[in-house]
């Protein structure tokens, strides 16, 4: 039986009404923009992590119960979305939370405060406290709305490629808060600039080291609601 995933206004999921068969099919792969501060000789061997450092963007070191991975945060292109993530990470918001939804060959979803209890049936419905604020790298103060959500930042055409971090939302405008997902497949249909579906999930970072850990998380046994049977815990996120 072909399963159909649907967006719910009560669960911030990076999915819209689309069949698994549709998810497995991609018309074309689009290349995400990776800003670099200076030219590198074609003969040089440069890691993704080095590129991240050269770009001037911050790096998030994510330590989980299954290992560590690093992410370049595209602050130069999405200052609001990255500012929100950095603020939550620096205040310890993500510590002790679990990956509450894992779908093989699709994505790993994380960031709901209710997931600190891995048995909670409400995991996936929470977010930051409404009315709280943070300052972006360019000095602007952003106040989260009453639901704890930030304005949609649909500006940079960065595709939901493998290894990218993307904002989860309910499908309604300005409904992204603390939850995000890591793509383990090129999910172009989730791009805000892809008109084939109503999904609009802006990419704000990409894994530069430890993709093997991300893939390992993506293959853990899951139960009802795609929740890992053995909780995968985010021990801490450090901004570097």
Six token digits for residue 111: 């960031």
pTM of model > 0.85: no
Average confidence (pLDDT) per 10 residues, the chain, 240 residues: 33 43 34 32 47 77 98 98 98 98 98 97 97 97 98 98 98 97 98 97 98 98 97 98
What Cα–Cα distance (Å) separates residue 154 from each residue in 66, 80, 81, 83, 161? 32, 11, 10, 15, 16
- The residue assigned the tokens 């911030």 is 12
User: Strand, helix or coil at 115?
Assistant: helix
């Amino acid at each position: 039986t072909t399963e159909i995933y649907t967006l719910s206004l009560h669960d911030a999921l990076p999915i819209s009404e689309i069949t698994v068969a549709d998810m497995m099919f991609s018309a074309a792969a689009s290349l995400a923009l990776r800003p670099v501060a200076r030219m590198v000789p074609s003969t040089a061997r440069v890691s993704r992590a080095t590129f991240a450092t050269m770009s001037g963007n911050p790096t998030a070191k994510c330590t989980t119960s299954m290992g560590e991975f690093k992410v370049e945060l595209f602050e130069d292109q999405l200052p609001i979305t990255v500012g929100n993530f950095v603020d939550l990470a620096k205040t310890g918001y993500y510590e002790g939370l679990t990956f509450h939804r894992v779908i093989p060959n699709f994505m790993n979803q994380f960031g709901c405060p209710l997931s600190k209890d891995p048995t909670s049936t409400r995991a996936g419905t929470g977010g930051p406290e409404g009315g709280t604020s943070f300052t972006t790298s360019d000095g602007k103060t952003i106040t989260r709305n009453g639901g704890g959500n930030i304005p949609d930042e649909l500006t940079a055409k960065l595709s939901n490629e493998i290894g990218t971090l993307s904002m989860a939302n309910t499908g309604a405008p300005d409904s992204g808060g603390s939850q995000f997902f890591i793509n383990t497949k090129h999910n172009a249909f989730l791009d805000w600039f892809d008109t084939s579906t109503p999904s609009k999930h802006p990419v704000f970072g990409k894994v530069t080291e430890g993709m093997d850990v991300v893939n390992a998380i993506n293959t853990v046994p899951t139960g009802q609601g795609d929740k890992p049977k053995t909780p995968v815990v985010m021990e801490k996120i450090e901004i570097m």
